[in-house]
């Protein structure tokens, strides 16, 4: 086996490279997603107070990208160690506040000792006021559930408090993400931060550790207030259409609380075998009537009074959107085509946004330079004027196009809701009503 170097990341709170890279990430995530809900950021401490943010993990690399793109503070991440082996990648990743974590599959004889270095590096960074972001579920899963948590967060906090009681000031902040539809351009995303979670009282002076069972309960309870947790998870397919019809990525305040209350009711009701059997029967009837995963319960709502309003403005703006997107149309098509070919749905948006963050601005510079050279050769306008003009058109046109696409998604939903509840699809809509009634009963 090839000998691997022991990696010791630098101790830092912020880095210029992260700041610059974040500008690209912000552009990519905000252009791709339609973030209508971004709440709770007032719960974050000041940027020099140590913080550990814990979130649900649904969508592969997209989850950390959304955090980096929507939060101005710099976060620090634990990343699998094998991507650090090449020296050039190691320097780049260190600059982006990444720290390696070793796994059993790395097959290193001194894995425990290497991870000790990394844990101590985390503590060094927290002592100078860094912000760590962790996914305590341990891995990603596209289902909208809160899965059992690992004990990494409690181990980290226990180490911190054992080393330095002043680190009892670490703020443990829960953070929930929810996607309307993972891979689709300009579908909605909701981001919700919660109030700090108490943890110091769970520290045991004798064992020098945090009670991880109780801490994980607190974290799970906090996350359930911020994102969807469809339970029981083994019946996930049964309840997902009903929950999607709430349009949860759009809800805040009392409307969001009403969804959480209904999720608790469903979880408790599922313990009743008779109720669960009735719901399963109604769901099977719905499938037999033609329902499949490609359909959008968000367009239907729970009844015909919940369909979206139809605004013709969305359609009238489409030609303007096409003109605005003209400098990016070919690149956008290629990125979407390649992204939709990715097998796992939770990696498609990552693939689309990753190249898009760099491919689009680079292509704008290249096309603008060629256009500027041609126009300057014929003394139409100076090179720099053509380049700047084209880049501004491409950049702001792409943003405008995204907003118009979002409006047209809603218009399409309005048409679909109108069609669904109309006379042309009676069998499916009748089965849907029976399904909704069975869950509510």
Residue 425 pLDDT? 64
The Cα angle at residue 284 between residues 282 and 287, in degrees rounded to 5: 115
Q: Is the dihedral of CA 378, 381, 385, 389 positive or negative?
A: negative
pTM for the model = 0.93
Query: At 58, phi and psi to the nearest 5?
Result: -105, -35
Query: At 318, phi and psi to the nearest 5?
Result: -55, -45
Side-chain-side CA neighbours of 1 within 13 Å: the count stands at: 7
End-to-end Cα distance, the chain: 61
Q: Is the dihedral of CA 243, 247, 250, 256 positive or negative?
A: negative
Q: What are the tens digits of pLDDT across the range 80-135?
A: 888 898 888 899 999 999 999 888 888 888 888 999 999 999 999 999 999 999 99
Ordered per-residue pLDDT tens for the chain, 441 residues: 567 888 899 999 999 999 999 999 999 999 999 998 999 999 999 999 999 999 999 988 889 999 999 999 999 999 888 889 888 889 999 999 999 988 888 888 888 899 999 999 999 999 999 999 999 998 888 999 999 999 999 999 999 999 999 999 999 999 999 999 989 999 999 999 999 999 999 999 999 999 999 999 999 999 999 999 999 999 999 999 999 999 999 999 999 999 999 999 999 999 999 999 999 999 999 999 999 989 999 999 999 999 999 999 999 999 999 999 999 999 999 999 888 888 888 888 888 887 778 889 999 999 999 999 999 998 899 999 999 999 999 999 999 999 999 999 999 999 999 999 986 568 999 999 999 999 999
CATH 3.50.20.10: does it fit domain 16-229? no
Max CA pair span of the chain: 82
- Tokens coding 228: 């969807």
Helix (H) or strand (E) holding 173: strand 171-179
Per DSSP bridges, beta strands 34-39 and 188-193 are parallel
Q: What are the tens digits of pLDDT across the range 15-58?
A: 999 999 999 999 999 999 999 899 999 999 999 999 999 999 99
Domain boundaries, the chain: 16-229, 272-441
């Amino acid at each position: 086996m090839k000998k691997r170097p022991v990696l010791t990341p630098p101790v830092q709170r912020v880095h210029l490279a992260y700041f610059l890279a974040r500008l690209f990430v912000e552009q990519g995530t905000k252009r791709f997603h339609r973030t209508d809900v971004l709440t709770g950021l007032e719960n974050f401490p000041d940027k020099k107070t140590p913080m550990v943010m814990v979130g649900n993990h649904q969508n592969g690399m997209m989850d950390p990208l959304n955090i980096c793109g929507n939060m101005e503070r710099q976060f620090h991440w634990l990343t699998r160690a094998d991507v650090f082996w090449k020296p050039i990648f190691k320097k780049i990743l260190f600059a982006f506040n990444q720290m390696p974590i070793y796994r059993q599959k790395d097959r290193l004889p001194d894995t425990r000792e290497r991870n000790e270095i990394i844990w101590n590096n985390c503590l060094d960074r927290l002592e100078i006021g860094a912000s760590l972001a962790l996914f305590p579920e341990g891995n990603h899963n596209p289902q909208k559930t809160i899965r059992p948590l690992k004990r990494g967060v409690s181990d980290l906090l226990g180490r911190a408090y054992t080393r330095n009681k002043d680190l009892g000031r670490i703020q443990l902040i829960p953070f929930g993400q929810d996607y309307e539809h993972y891979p689709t351009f300009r579908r909605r995303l909701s981001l919700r931060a919660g109030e700090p979670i108490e943890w110091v009282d769970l520290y045991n002076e004798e064992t020098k550790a945090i009670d991880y069972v109780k801490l994980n309960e607190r974290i799970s309870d906090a996350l359930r207030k911020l994102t969807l947790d469809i339970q029981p998870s083994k019946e996930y397919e049964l309840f997902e259409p009903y929950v999607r019809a709430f349009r949860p990525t759009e809800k805040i305040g009392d409307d969001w609380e009403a969804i959480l209350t209904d999720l608790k009711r469903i979880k408790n009701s599922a313990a009743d075998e008779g109720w669960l059997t009735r719901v399963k029967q109604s769901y099977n009837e719905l499938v037999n009537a033609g329902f499949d995963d490609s359909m959008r319960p968000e367009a239907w709502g729970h009844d015909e009074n919940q369909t979206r309003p139809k605004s013709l403005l969305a359609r009238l703006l489409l030609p303007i959107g096409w003109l605005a997107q003209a400098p990016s149309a070919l690149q956008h098509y290629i990125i979407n085509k390649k992204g939709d070919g990715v097998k796992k749905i939770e990696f498609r948006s990552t693939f689309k946004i990753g190249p898009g963050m760099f491919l689009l601005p680079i292509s704008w510079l290249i096309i603008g330079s060629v256009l500027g050279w041609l126009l300057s050769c014929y003394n139409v306008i100076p090179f720099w004027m053509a380049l700047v003009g084209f880049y501004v058109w491409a950049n702001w046109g792409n943003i405008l196009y995204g907003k118009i696409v979002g409006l047209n998604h809603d218009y399409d939903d309005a048409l679909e809701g109108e069609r669904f509840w109309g006379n042309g699809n009676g069998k499916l809509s009748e089965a849907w009503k029976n399904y909704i009634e069975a869950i509510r009963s």
